[in-house]
Structure 1
């Protein structure tokens, strides 16, 4: 019978959630965040925390619970700032318009409640 490996599952979740969001953060580094600055002013720079530093910490498993909290807040802010009109909409194929953000948020919530697991860089803090 196939044995369960919760720690490997958490590593895969960390790599997927954090790794995929890093692409968004790098894109914002390359192309700027002018469109966000127009909406929220200097608070826009928090996007680098939520889309670069927190995902990197999640991938590494460094203070995973804290990074997941920051990441989740970033997802909620993204909905409020850029996607508030899509909250109750379906896309052209019948799927939920915010499904990617919803998956990121659910992944962040899961990591917030579980921590990074044994295959994480840090394991001894209450934020791990």
Structure 2
């Protein structure tokens, strides 16, 4: 039972915190993401994938509907975010001593952990 509660807390934390990023994109648009995508030499329409990665996937993870699949896709989304936003500074430290990729890297790791652990008992399609 405690393992299932821990899985729920992990899923809720990942999903809710990522959803804040998605809501920001809904409210303020994705101009910055488009700029990063185009500068990387990718087609501009790839930027719209941020809505999937930061709105749809977090909602699936929160409710526990195909959370493993959603978390793998979210992990890929975080790898792309690191590549696009920090490709030239991956190993740099920020002004407070932490790596500049700290936040997307944490989301990446938590996504991998959700994939490995699964949804738990408290999910729409629990296993």
Partner of 1:92: 95
1:64 paired with 2:64, answer: no
- The answer on whether the counterparts of 2:75 and 2:111 sit within 8 Å (CA) in structure 1 is yes
Q: How high is the TM-score relative to the length of structure 1?
A: 0.89
Alignment of 1:1-128 (within 5 A): 5-38=2-35, 39=38, 40=42, 41-123=44-126
Which secondary structure state, in structure 2, belongs to the residue aligned with residue 86 of structure 1? coil
Structure 1: tracts of 5 or more residues without a match: none
Give the CA deviation at 1:91.
0.9
- Report how many aligned residue pairs link the two structures: 121
Once the two structures are TM-superposed, the CA of residue 95 in structure 1 deviates from its matched residue by 1.2
What are the superposed Cα offsets for residues 25-47 of structure 1, whole Å, 9 maximum, x if unpaired? 00001111122223240011110
Deviation for aligned residue 1:123: 2.2
SS, match of residue 88 in structure 1: coil
RMSD over aligned Cα atoms: 1.3
Q: How far did residue 48 of structure 1 move? A: 0.5
Q: Is the 8 A contact 2:82 2:105 kept in 1?
A: no
Unaligned stretches of 5+ residues in structure 2: none
Q: How far did 1:99 drift?
A: 1.2
Structure 2 Cα separation of the partners of residues 116 and 12 of structure 1: 10
